[in-house]
Every structure is written in structure tokens, then in C-alpha cells.
Amino acid sequence: MTELILQSLYSGLLVGGAYALIALGLALVFGTMKIINLAHGELVLLAAYVAYTAESQFGLNPLASIPFALVIVCASAVLVYLLVSRIRVNRELNSLILTFGLGIILTNAVLIVWSANIRSTSSAWLQDAVVLGPLFSMRSEVVFFVLSLALAGGLWWWLSRSWYGRAVRAVSSNRDAAKLMGIDPVRTELVSFVVAGVLASVAGVAIYSSSVIQPALGHALTIKAFIITVLAGIGSMPGVLLGAVLLGVTESLTVTLASSALQELAGMVLFLLVLFVMPNGLFGGARRRG
Amino acid sequence: MHSTASHPRATRLRTLALAVALALGSFAAQAEEFVVGSQIPLTGSLARVGNGMLEGIKVAVEVFNARNTGNTIRLEVIDDESVPAKAVAAVEKLAADKVVALSGGYGSNLIGPASEAAEKAGLTYVTSGGVSDELTRRGLKHFFRINNNAGYAKAMAGLFEEMKLSSVAIVYSTKDATEGLAKAVAADLEAHGIKVTLHAFDPAITDFKPIINKVRLQDRAEGIAMVGYENDYVGILRAAKVLKPSSVKAVVGVWSLATAQMAQEFPELMPQVYGTAMLPFPVEFKSEAGRQFATAYERLYHKEPDYLGQFGYVQSMLLFEAIDRAAKNGTLAKGGLSEELRRTDAETIIGQVTFDANGDNPHFSHRMGQHQNGKVALVWPDAEATAPKQFPGVPW
């Protein structure tokens, strides 16, 4: 039983890393602009399909396809922002409808371009087993978990130490005051979307490398990312990482100790429980107190 | 001289052409075009299987119309987007457009409400996309299907029994059809003295390592039965390749697994894995009807036919033939199509098809295929086998 639980905790940790990668981009835009980008999952999916094309057509390792995914997904993220920025009235609500529609368009575009067949990497290197004593995983899971930690750390540094990161936080606190301080809010928000695009690119390649992709996946990814963002507390990057790992471990332990049929339910129970006890999310309370 | 001699021949040719034109004209005047509706998922989570079935339906239209029976079929297709409410709306729209019957539907959760809507409209509904037992327990008069859970369960259990395994772990999705099939296989195996452990999983899960670890450390099963869909198979097989459960001698799945697409897309995961299969890969038909289907399919789609196309073709051909018979004996306009379809007793490319009072095909029995060296060989039952099974054998 100990071996089962250890493996379960390890699997949950790695899955949590992947969840964090998906959620970080959504959390950034949500935290800084109060915009819930419902097309975020589709942007992640787009990156996954770019990795598929790079591997199947040009024989590139999915890791090597990240630069191509960055270009295409960041360009798409900019396009999404340009459309969102045209909303003049009730931006928070109207952007929901707009990005939901964009998500549908992207899903169908993916379906037309890449067909409905399921896809995943054929890289033996990424699929090889990594064995650490009684713990087993695929190499891709370890690689992207490390990448996820690095990106979360990098994002935290960028938001707290860099000029643009501070500008993003200033715009999110008070758009007009930030403007008076000489910050261009449009450019700052655009940068947020581009950074979210970078995160979505890596997340998409991670999913393609360790799981299976299909055109209908984007919506489920958005929901998962949204749950983690709310669980974490709006705008909290460490919270996203912790919330994602907590969700991954809860789901994994549910499979081992109860039934895998209850996995999704367990995730939702955790979500409701955290919100019941800490209505501002795991890290939202501390922010409010600060 | 030459010119005068050509005149009578030209006249004869013109007369012959006129006669042919008149004959064709009179034939065309008698021929009637019937519109058949197809509510089918072309987008959403079931897009791949829906598109696969539609290919078969379109081949059936092509083949039937080329037969010159005096009646022709035109297809009207509506994408239900893999959403039950849209499946109902699609059927209602097709009924409003006065289609004579429906061929299509995929997923028991979509077919259920869609076929109820068809029943209310008095439209015959024929499918191969829903195998849940519930579908034929409703007592609908106009619902028909050519395959069912029992046929899949019989094939899976038959293969396991032939292997003489002592224990099997069944890993199954909690969807209606897969849960029903898993339980039917479990009951069959237990009746033959095989120890069974069941592991249900939510369709949303992607990491199967915790489940396979239970199979490895707790169950120590000799066989793994996977009852799910393509993405589940890939997840389960990847987890098994990482954990390498040493007790396992065979991995057996169900639909969408022993296919050319899986052999080509996931060559590292498929070796020696079993799945239900009507066709070997490369495709090989022994019957004339099968070759006719394969030729038409390859002409339309420039690829080898798969089981989805095959099922879509059979259900549609049976429906079109029943429409033709009902039109000729004058019962079509009086709502006699379902009765005509119920009289079907045909040897098809998926075996014999008849329909019982609930619209189910009691003769349906699947075959089992195995991925062998990048190909799919039929290995069960013996009568249909194209190669002996490679046993014991697992992909890791």
C-alpha cells in the first residue's frame, strides 16, 4: 500500500505541474486585467498541434517545436487581445462572450486543419520510463514538471522585479493612476497577453508530449485552468502552483484510495471546500490582508 | 460512294440513340428520389467517429444509386456537434424537411434522445453507433441497430477464455456503453471461473499510472481488458509501458483499437495488443459485396476502409434496400418502412443481420484482431482468423 500511495503522490505532483503550466497564462490575464480568456485552452491546444505538425512533418522533437509554437500562439494571443481591447463597455463581462466565441472558432479551425483524429508524440525519448526507486514516470512528465517550476519562478520574478511586470501590476491595481505615472496600459496589457501566450505554448507542447490531443480538448483545459486560478486566489502565481499540485495529488490519491471514477468529483469537492473555508482562494486572503 | 453508304448507318445510329434516350427518359420518369437524413457528430468530442461513419453512409448512397433499382437516395446531413440537445434538434429539422428515414447517430447518449425524437416523428432510425443495452429496452417501433454490446462482450470474453487466463483486470470508462460492456464481459469471464477486478475511470482522466499500479501491485492480473476509447487506450498503454506489470500476458481492448490508424499513429504502443476488428489491415475482403464496398470507398476517399465506414455502409444499405422495397410495394407512404426493415434477413459484410422486435440484431458477433508487425491480423474466432495469435505478448 505504501508503494501505491508514494506512486500516487508522485504522479499527482507531476500532473499538478502540467496543470500549473496550463493555468499560469489564464491566471496572469485574469489577475492583471480581470479578463477571463475563455479561449486560453484553445491557445494551449493550438501549441500542441503546432508541436504535432513539427514532429510529423519535419521530424522535430516536440521540445524543439517550442519556438514555432511561441510564434504562432503569441500571434494568436495578440489577435485575441486586439479584439478584446475593442470592447468599450462592460469589458469584464463582454470579454467572456467574445473569448468564448473565439474558442469555438479556434476549435473548429483546428478540426478543419488537423482533422478529428487523436494525436500524441511518437518520440521514444520523451516516452521512456524514468524510475526513481519505487517511483515511475515518463521522461516528458519530469521534463515539463521542471520547466513548469522554472516558468512559474520566472513569471514571479518578472511580475515582482521587472519594469514591465511592475507595470502590469500597476495597471491591474488602478488603470488611470498607472496612466498618470506614464505607463501605457494598452501596451502593458498586450505584454500580459503575449506572456500568457508563451506559457500556453509550453503547456501545449507539454500536453502533446505526455498525453493525447484532439480538437475538443481546449474547452476542458480552460475549465481546469479556471478552477486552479480561482483555487489559487486571483492573481497569485505561487497559489497557482500550489493549487495545481494540490488538485493533481487529490485526483491521484482518489484513484489509489477510492476509485478513479471519482477523480473529477474529488477535484471539484476540493475546489468547493477551499472556497468554503477560504473564499478568496489559497493565496487570495493573504493578498487582501496585505 | 462512301458518303451515300454512310447515310443509312447514320440513320440507324440516330434511331438507336433516340430509342435509348426515350428508354432512359421513361425510366427517369418512373425513378423517384428519396431523401434520407443523417444526424451525426461531425464536430465536438465524437467528431472522428462521426466522420468515419458518414464516409460509410456516403459510400452506401453511391453504391445504391449505381445499382439503378429505379429509386435513388439523396442524403441530408446535420452535424449534432456531439451534443444531445442538438441531436434532437437535428432530427426535428430533418423531420420537418420530410426525410423518409434516418441513418446515423454516434454515442448512446446522443442516439437515445435523437431516436426518441425520430419515434415521435414516425421516422425509421437505423444506427451502428450506440451499443448500450438501454437503447433497445425502450420498446421503440422505429429504432434499429446492427451491432450491440452482447456481440462485443462475446468476442472479448471468447478471446480471454481461449487464452485460459486465471485473472483479468477490466479498466473501463464510466460512460453508459462502456460500463455496460465492461460488466457484461466481467459476468461472462466470472461464469468461466476467471477472477475479475473492475477499475472504473472518469472519461476526463489522462494519467492512468495510479490505476495500472493497482493492477501491477494489488490485482497481479494476467490480462488487462480496456473498455474505453482511443485516447484512453493510449493513456493506459503508456502507463503500462512505464510500469511494466510483469504478471500481464495480454492486453485486450475493444472498438477503435485494432485499426490501421492506431497501427500507423502509435506503432510503439500497439505491438501484440488486441481489439475488436471486422477487417484485417491491410484490408482484405473475401466476398464480392465486400470488394464492391472497398472499391467504392477507396475511389471516394483514397484510403483503405475502416470499421466505422463498414458499419455506416451496412446500416445504410439495409435501410436503402428497405426503402426501395417499401416504395415498390406501396407501403412507404403509409408508414410501412419500419415493418419492411424488420423483415430484413441479409448476409452482409459484418455478418448476418436480422432485427428482433426491439430493433436489435441478435446475430451480431464481433471478431478480435491483434496488432502484429505493423499490421492487424484477425485472430478470433478461428473460422475468421487470418493469422494465429501471438500469445503471450505485450507491448513492453
How near does any CA of chain A get to the CA of B248, in Å? 18
Which domains are seen in chain B, by residue range?
30-148+286-354 (3.40.50.2300), 150-283+367-384 (3.40.50.2300)
Tell me which chain A residue has its CA closest to the CA of residue B41. A116
A214 and B48 in contact by Cβ < 8 A? yes
Sort out which chain B residues have CB atoms less than 8 A from A9's CB and list them. none
Judged against a pLDDT cut of 90, whether residue B388 lies above it is answered with: yes
Q: HEC profile for chain B?
A: CHHHHHHHHHHHHHHHHHHHHHHHHHHHHHCEEEEEEEEECCCCCCHHHHHHHHHHHHHHHHHHHHCCCCEEEEEEEEECCCCHHHHHHHHHHHHHCCCCEEECCCCHHHHHHHHHHHHHCCCEEEECCCCCHHHHCCCCCCEEECCCHHHHHHHHHHHHHHHCCCEEEEEEECCHHHHHHHHHHHHHHHHCCCEEEEEEECCCCCCCHHHHHHHHHHHCCCEEEEECCHHHHHHHHHHHHHHCCCCCCEEECCCCCCCHHHHHHCCCCCCCCEEECCCCECCCCCCHHHHHHHHHHHHHHCCCCCHHHHHHHHHHHHHHHHHHHHHHCCCCCCCCHHHHHHCCEEEEECEEEECCCCCCCCCCCCCEEEEECCEEEEEECHHHCCCCCCCCCCCC
How near does any CA of chain A get to the CA of B46, in Å? 8
Judged against a pLDDT cut of 80, whether residue B109 lies above it is answered with: yes
Predicted confidence at residue B17, as pLDDT, reads 57
Q: Which of A11, A214, A259 sits opposite B209 (nearest CB)?
A: A11
Q: Between A259 and B154, name the one with better pLDDT.
A: B154
Q: Determine the Cα angle at A169 with ends A233 and A268, to 5°.
A: 15
Judged against a pLDDT cut of 90, whether residue B197 lies above it is answered with: yes
Tell me which chain A residue has its CA closest to the CA of residue B235. A211
Give the mean pLDDT of B325-331. 93
Percentage of the residues of chain B whose pLDDT score is greater than 70? 92
Judged against a pLDDT cut of 70, whether residue A256 lies above it is answered with: yes
Domain hosting residue A188, numbered range: 2-289
Report the residue count for chain B: 396
Sort out which chain B residues have CB atoms less than 8 A from A119's CB and list them. 265
B230 and A118 in contact by Cβ < 8 A? yes
A211 and B206 in contact by Cβ < 8 A? yes
Summarised one tens digit per residue, pLDDT across range B292-321 is 999 999 999 998 898 899 999 999 999 999
Summarised one tens digit per residue, pLDDT across range A94-145 is 989 999 999 999 999 999 999 888 899 988 899 999 998 889 999 999 999 9
Q: Which of B204, B207, B214 sits opposite A264 (nearest CB)?
A: B204
Predicted confidence at residue B176, as pLDDT, reads 80
A-to-B residue pairs, Cβ atoms closer than 8 angstroms: 113
- Across A233-242, A253-262, B25-34, the highest mean pLDDT is recorded for A253-262
Judged against a pLDDT cut of 60, whether residue B23 lies above it is answered with: no
Predicted confidence at residue A236, as pLDDT, reads 78
Predicted confidence at residue A283, as pLDDT, reads 79
Within an 8 Å CB–CB cutoff, is residue B48 touching chain A?
yes
B14: buried, middle or exposed (CB in 10 Å: 19+, 13-18, 0-12)? exposed
Nearest to B239 by CA among B181, B199, B195, B182: B199
Predicted confidence at residue B270, as pLDDT, reads 95
Q: How many domains does chain A have?
A: 1
Nearest to B392 by CA among B160, B152, B84, B138: B160
CATH number at residue A58: 1.10.3470
Predicted confidence at residue B6, as pLDDT, reads 46
Give the mean pLDDT of B146-154. 92
Judged against a pLDDT cut of 50, whether residue A219 lies above it is answered with: yes
How near does any CA of chain B get to the CA of A163, in Å? 39
Residues in CB range of B269: below 8 A, 6 or more apart: B233, B234, B237, B238, B241, B395
Judged against a pLDDT cut of 50, whether residue A290 lies above it is answered with: no
Across chain A, what does the average pLDDT equal? 89
Q: β-strands B71-79, B274-276: how paired?
A: unpaired
Q: What's the pLDDT band for A45 if we cut at 50, 70, 90?
A: very high
Summarised one tens digit per residue, pLDDT across range B345-359 is 999 999 999 999 999
Sort out which chain A residues have CB atoms less than 8 A from B41's CB and list them. none
Q: Which of A127, A212, A260 sits opposite B231 (nearest CB)?
A: A212
B45 and A115 in contact by Cβ < 8 A? no
Across chain B, what does the average pLDDT equal? 90
A256 and B202 in contact by Cβ < 8 A? no
Q: Between B58 and B19, name the one with better pLDDT.
A: B58
Name the maximum alpha-carbon separation found in chain B: 99
B217 and A117 in contact by Cβ < 8 A? no
Give the mean pLDDT of A279-289. 65
B174 and A261 in contact by Cβ < 8 A? yes
Summarised one tens digit per residue, pLDDT across range B44-90 is 888 889 999 999 999 999 999 999 888 999 999 999 999 999 999 99
Sort out which chain B residues have CB atoms less than 8 A from A227's CB and list them. none
**What secondary structure letter does DSSP report for A46?**
H
Summarised one tens digit per residue, pLDDT across range A162-202 is 988 889 888 888 888 988 988 898 898 899 999 999 999 99
A166: buried, middle or exposed (CB in 10 Å: 19+, 13-18, 0-12)? middle
Judged against a pLDDT cut of 60, whether residue B157 lies above it is answered with: yes
Percentage of the residues of chain A whose pLDDT score is greater than 70? 97
**What secondary structure letter does DSSP report for A262?**
G
Predicted confidence at residue B1, as pLDDT, reads 36
B261 and A117 in contact by Cβ < 8 A? yes
Q: B164: which 3 cell numbers?
A: 485460459
Summarised one tens digit per residue, pLDDT across range B160-180 is 999 999 999 999 999 888 898
Judged against a pLDDT cut of 60, whether residue B268 lies above it is answered with: yes
Judged against a pLDDT cut of 50, whether residue B2 lies above it is answered with: no
Q: Which residues pair with B201 in a beta bridge?
A: B173
Give the mean pLDDT of B97-103. 96
Q: What's the pLDDT band for B11 if we cut at 50, 70, 90?
A: low
